[in-house]
Chain A
Amino acid sequence: MKLNPFKPAGQAANDASPGHEPAMRVLDKAPRVQRRGFLRGSGLGAIGVVVLPAAPALSKEAARALTADQSFTHLGKHAGRTLVRMARDIYPHDKLPDKFYVQAEAPYDGLAKKDAALKKLLVEGLQDLDQRARKQHGTPYLQVKAESDRVALLRGIESTPFFKKIQGDLVTGLYNNKELWPLFGYEGSSWQKGGYLHRGFDDLDWL
C-alpha cells in the first residue's frame, strides 16, 4: 500500500482497506500549536491588550518571559522566570509549550503570599541557585546558556528541601495536567465513552 505523504502516519494506518483488519488505533502525539491561540493564550487577551497583527512575532524567550511574568506578581518576574526555567530543566519535554510549565509553577505565587515558610523556602532557594550560577558562570541561573551547565547546578542542589519541593510538586503539577495528556498518547477518563471495549483495547497489530 502506498502511503499518502500528506496524511499523518497514524491516520493512514487507520484506513481500513478491503481484506485487511482495521489497524491499531494510534494517537497523534504532536502538539497542535496555533500561533494566534498561542499568543492569546499568553494572557494578553484576557487583560484587554490588543496584539497588533503587524507586530513582529515574539521570540520564544520573550513569550516565555511574558507568561511567567504575568503569573508571578508576588514573587516577582525573575523568580517566576527562574522557576519556569528550572521546571523545564527538571522535566525537559521539548515539544511541550511553556504554558504547561508556567501552569505547574504559577500556583506558588499565590501560595507564597499566604505561607511565609514556603515563601522563605522559595526565595532563599532561588537566591542560592543564582549565587551558585554566578560563582560558576558569572550570571544568574536564568542566563546560563547551556542546559548541561544548568543541570549541573541543579544536581548540586538536588538534595535540598527547595529542590525536592519543586521536583516533587512538578510530578503532579506537570504530569497530572489533563491538557498535556494527549501529547503523551494518554487518553484519560474512559467510562463516559464506554471504556475501551470498542475503542482499541485489543487492536495491537505489530507482534
Chain B
Amino acid sequence: MTDQAKFSLDDDSVAVIIGSGAGGATLANELAQRGIKSVVLEAGKHYTQADFENDEWAMFNKISWLDKRISAGGWHHTQTYPNLPAWIVKGVGGSTVHWSGVALRFQEHDFHTRTTYGAVDGANVLDWPITLSELEPYYELAEKKMGVCGTKASGLPPMPPNNHYKVIEAGAKKVGYKNIVRPAASNSEPYDGRPGCMQLGFCMQGCKIGAKWSTLYTEVPRAQATGNMELRPECMVLQIEHDKSGRATGVLYVDGKGRKQLQKARIVCVAGNSIESPRLLLNSASSLFPNGLANSSGQVGRNYMNHATAAAVAIHKKPVYMYRGFDIAAVVADEVPLDTRRGFVGGYYLEGLAIHLPYTAAFMKPGGWGRDFASAMEMYDHMTCVWVCGEDLAREQNSITLHPTEKDQYGLPVPIVTKTYHENDDRITAHGLQQWRKLSEAVGATRVIDMPAYPASHNMGTNRMSEKAADGVVNRWGQTHDVKNLFVSDGSQFTSSSAANPTLTIVALAIRQAEYIASAMQRKEL
C-alpha cells in the first residue's frame, strides 16, 4: 500500500470508485490497466490473509458489515435477524472475501424475463437492455480473470469432488438429475500467481492461502501496482456532490480519523452493494434532485432482490464430514431451465454449501432448542447441507429506504431493508426443499431438516438497468440515466436476479463498463 499513487483531493481528473468488492475493484483494475486514474474509497478496514482465521464466529465479528440496518416487511428476518438483513463484508475486497466462489453464468431468458414471463402479478419484472450474447465475451474474460475451474476460459481442471460432493451427486443421480456441476472460482491447481486449493474448508471466512479469487489480493494490488489507483480504506462516503448542470463533481466522505473530506472527481462509480449504493444516492438528494441523485424514475432503492432461498441439512447413516474441503459441493443445475409446469417462473440451483459446527448451531433452527435440536447437532459429522438459490422476482415494495430519525455512527440515516416474498419465491423454495429431501433420502438420509433462509448474501437490484429512463436507474452501461458521469458498478444494477449467484455477472459487467468508460473518455464524452 505504501507504493501506491497518491492523488490530491482537488484532482478532478480522477474516477472516484466507491467500494472495493467484485464490482468496484474489478472496475478500478480494468481502468488502471488502461491508464485511467482512480481513487477507491472503501468503508471498511484493510485486512490481509494474515488476519484470516479458520473460525466462523471470529471472522464473522471481524469482517461482517455490522452497522445497524433494519429488517422490515413480511420475511422472517424481522424476527430472526432484525438488524442483520444482509450478510456481507465491510472491508477491502468487500464480499469477495466472504463469497463461496460459485461462478455461474446467467441464461438467455434471464435477460428478458418480462418478455418471457409476461406481466407477473405483484411483481415488477423488466427486460435488461442487454442480451446474453452481448455479455458472453465478458463472461469469458471474467472466468479467465477469476480462474473459474472447469471452464475453457481458465483451462483449469474441475475442483476434485470432496465427500460432501460425492453424497449429493449420488443422490442427485438417483432421482434422475444429470446436470451436476461445481463452478468454483478457486484454483484447482496453481494459477495466476496464486496457489492451488488446499481444501481448507473455510472459503467463506476468507481464503487463508488465497486460492479462491478475491479482489483483496488480485484486482486491488494489481491496480495499485500500475500507479494509477489509490485505495483509501476506512473511508465512508456520505454524499455525492454535483454542479448546477447536474454533473457529479466530487464525493464527500469521512476518513479513518473522522475528518470530512471532499474528493473531486471526473466520474463517480458507485459499487457499495445493493443496500449502500441506493442509500448513498438517496442521501445525495439536493434541490436539483429532490428524490435522490439519479432518481427521476423513483426506482432508486426499489426492486430489491436477494434470491429465493432456503436451506436444509440431511442426516446420513454414515459420516460425511461436509466441512472437509472446498465449501461448495455439488451444484445441481437441472432445475434451472425455464419450465412453468412446476407452478412457478424462473428456476433454481441446489447448491451444496457446507457450514461448520458453530454456524450449523446458529442457522439450523434459529431459536430452536430441546432434544430435537440437540440430537440433530450430535449428527453434525453425518450431515450434508444445501442452499436453494432461486430466481427472486423484482417487486417495487421490496426496497431500501432511509429511517426518518435514526442515525448511524457517521450521522447517516439507518437503512431499512424491506422484503416480502412473492408467491413465486415461496413456490421455488418449497420445490427446492422437496427435491433436496428426495435426493437425500435416495442415498439413505434418515432425517432432513428444513432451515430458513440465511441473512441475504446475494443482494441485487435497487438501481436497476433499463432501456427507458422511466423504468430504472441505469442504462446498458451502468451509467445513470439522469447523471452522465455517474455509474453504478455493482449488483444493484441487476434488472433480474436469475437463479445464478451474482458475482461472475458483476465482474463481467464491470469489465464491460471499464471498456465503455475508457472509450467514452477517449471520445471526450466523459
A199-B324 contact given A194-B198, A204-B163, A204-B166, CB 8 Å threshold: yes
A-chain residues with CB within 8 Å of residue B381 when the two chains form the complex: 27, 29, 184-186
- Rounded to whole angstroms, the CA-CA distance of A159 and B27 in the bound complex is 48
The reply on A17 being an interface residue by CB < 8 A is no
| A75 part of interface (Cβ distance < 8 Å) | no
Q: Does A143 contact B (CB under 8 A)?
A: no
Provide the bound-state CA to CA distance between A196 and B370, in Å.
33
**Which residue of B is nearest A207, CB measured?**
B170
Is there an interface contact between A202 and B325, defined as CB atoms closer than 8 Å? yes
A61 to B160: give the CA distance in the assembly, Å. 50
The interface bits of chain A over 23-59 (1 if a CB of B lies within 8 angstroms of the residue's CB, else 0) are 0101101000000000000000000000000000000
Interface residue SS majority, chain A: loop
Q: Are B319 and A185 in contact (CB under 8 A)?
A: yes
B201 within 8 Å of A by Cβ? yes
A172 touches B201 (CB 8 A): no
Any A CB within 8 A of the CB of B374? yes
B interface residues, tally (CB under 8 Å): 47
Assess whether B5 is interfacial by the CB under 8 Å rule.
Answer: no
Say which one of B52-60, B100-108, B218-226, B455-463 lies at the interface with A: B52-60
Q: Which A residue sits closest to B56, measured CB to CB?
A: A176
A-B contact count (CB 8 A): 125
> Judging by beta carbons under 8 Å apart, are A196 and B373 in contact?
no
Closest-by-CB residue of B relative to A159 is B367
B54 touches A188 (CB 8 A): yes
Least Cβ distance of B361 to chain A in Å?
4
Interface residue ranges of B356-397 to A (CB < 8 Å): 356-358, 360-362, 367, 369-371, 373-374, 377-378, 380-382
Could you say which residues of chain A place their CB within 8 Å of the CB of B209?
A: 191, 195
Evaluate contact between B369 and A91: CB separation under 8 angstroms: yes
CA–CA, A92 and B371, complex, Å: 6
Q: Is A20 an interface residue (CB 8 A)?
A: no
A203-B163 in contact (CB<8A): yes
Task: Give the nearest-CB partner of B55 in chain A.
Answer: A189
Contact call B201/A190, Cβ cutoff below 8 A = yes
B443 surroundings in chain A (CB, below 8 A) = 207
B517 interface residue, CB < 8 Å from A? no
* Residues of the B chain whose Cβ atoms lie less than 8 Å from the Cβ of A164: 367
**Chain B, residue nearest A181 (CB):** B357
Residue A171 interfacial (CB < 8 Å)? yes
CB distance from A203 to the nearest CB of B (A): 7
Most buried by A among B202, B367, B369: B369
Q: Does B161 contact A (CB under 8 A)?
A: yes
Per-position binary interface string of chain A over residues 151-195, scored 1 when its CB falls under 8 Å from any chain B CB and 0 otherwise: 100000000000010011001101110000100111111110011
CA distance A206 to B201 in the complex (A): 21
How many angstroms between the C-alpha atoms of A194 and B54 in the bound complex?
12
Q: Are B320 and A204 neighbours in the complex by a CB distance under 8 Å?
A: yes
Do A202 and B161 touch (CB < 8 A)?
Answer: yes
- The answer to whether A191 touches B54, judged by C-beta atoms less than 8 angstroms apart, is yes
Could you tell me which residues of chain A, from 79 to 100, have a CB within 8 Å of some CB in chain B?
90-93
List chain B residues, Cβ under 8 A from A189.
Answer: 53-55, 202
Note all chain A residues with C-beta closer than 8 A to B431.
none
The size of the chain A interface, using a CB distance under 8 A, is 38
- Is A22 engaged at the interface, CB distance under 8 Å to the other chain? no
Given A186-B381, A191-B54, residue A196 in contact with residue B166 (CB < 8 A): no
CB-nearest residue of chain B relative to A200? B324
- Main secondary structure, interface of B, reads loop
Query: Please, what's the 1-or-0 string for B136-163, where 1 marks a CB less than 8 Å from any CB in chain A?
Result: 0000000000000000000000001111
Cβ of B323 < 8 Å from any Cβ of A? yes
Q: Tell me how far the C-beta of B510 lies from the nearest C-beta in chain A, rounded to whole angstroms.
A: 30
Q: Which residue in chain A gives the minimum CB-CB distance to B358?
A: A176
Closest chain-A Cβ to B443's Cβ sits at a distance in Å of 7
Instruction: Report yes or no: A175 in contact with B361, Cβ–Cβ below 8 A.
Output: yes
Q: Which residues of B contact A6 (CB under 8 A)?
A: none
B177 lies within 8 A of chain A by Cβ = no
Q: List chain B residues, Cβ under 8 A from A186.
A: 323, 356-357, 380-381
B167 within 8 A of A: yes
Closest partner residue, chain A, to B52 (CB atom):
A191
**Alpha-carbon distance between A200 and B321 when the two chains are bound, in angstroms:** 9
Asked if B198 contacts A202 (CB within 8 A), the reply is no
Cβ–Cβ contact B54 & A91, under 8 A: no
Contacts of B370 in A (CB 8 A): 90, 92, 151
> Are A191 and B208 in touch, CB under 8 angstroms?
yes
**B1 within 8 Å of A (CB atoms):** no
Q: With a CB–CB cut-off of 8 A, which chain A residues contact B56? A: 176
Q: Which residues of A lie under 8 Å from residue B380 when comparing CB positions? A: 184-186
Q: CA–CA, A157 to B360, complex, Å?
A: 25
Assembled-state Cα–Cα distance A187/B161 (Å):
20
The answer to whether B4 has its CB under 8 Å from any CB of chain A is no
Kindly provide the distance from the CB of B206 to the nearest chain A CB, expressed in whole angstroms. Answer: 11
B435 within 8 A of A: no
| Contact B202–A196 (Cβ < 8 Å) | no
A171:B167 contact, CB within 8 angstroms: no
Q: How far is the CA of A149 from the CA of B57 in the complex (A)?
A: 34
Residues of B within 8 A of A167 (CB): 367, 369
Which of A151, A174, A176, A194: most chain B Cβ within 10 A?
A176
User: Do B325 and A175 touch (CB < 8 A)?
Assistant: no
Question: Chain B residues near A174 (CB, 8 Å)?
Answer: 361
Q: In the complex, which of the residues A91, A175, A191 contacts B357, with contact meaning CB atoms closer than 8 Å? A: A175
Residues of A contacting B358 in the complex (Cβ-Cβ under 8 angstroms): 172, 175-176
Distance in angstroms from B450 CB to nearest chain A CB is 19
Q: Is B291 positioned at the interface, with any CB of A under 8 Å from its CB?
A: no
CB of B353, distance to nearest CB on chain A (Å):
16
A sample of 23 cross-chain residue pairs with beta-carbon separation below 8 angstroms, ordered by A number, consists of A27-B319, A92-B371, A92-B374, A151-B370, A164-B367, A167-B369, A175-B360, A175-B362, A176-B56, A185-B382, A186-B356, A186-B357, A187-B324, A189-B54, A189-B55, A190-B201, A191-B202, A194-B198, A196-B200, A196-B201, A201-B163, A202-B161, A202-B163
Apart from A26-B319, A92-B370, A175-B361, 17 more pairs, CB < 8 Å: A93-B377, A93-B378, A168-B367, A175-B358, A175-B362, A184-B381, A186-B356, A186-B380, A186-B381, A189-B53, A191-B54, A191-B198, A191-B209, A194-B198, A200-B321, A201-B324, A202-B166
- 3 nearest CB pairs, A to B: A185-B381, A195-B198, A201-B325
Write the residues of chain B forming the contact surface with A, with a CB cutoff of 8 angstroms.
Answer: 53-57, 160-163, 166-167, 170, 197-202, 208-209, 317-321, 323-326, 356-358, 360-362, 367, 369-371, 373-374, 377-378, 380-382, 443
Enumerate chain A interface residues (CB-CB to B < 8 A). 24, 26-27, 29, 90-93, 151, 164, 167-168, 171-172, 174-176, 181, 184-191, 194-197, 199-204, 206-207
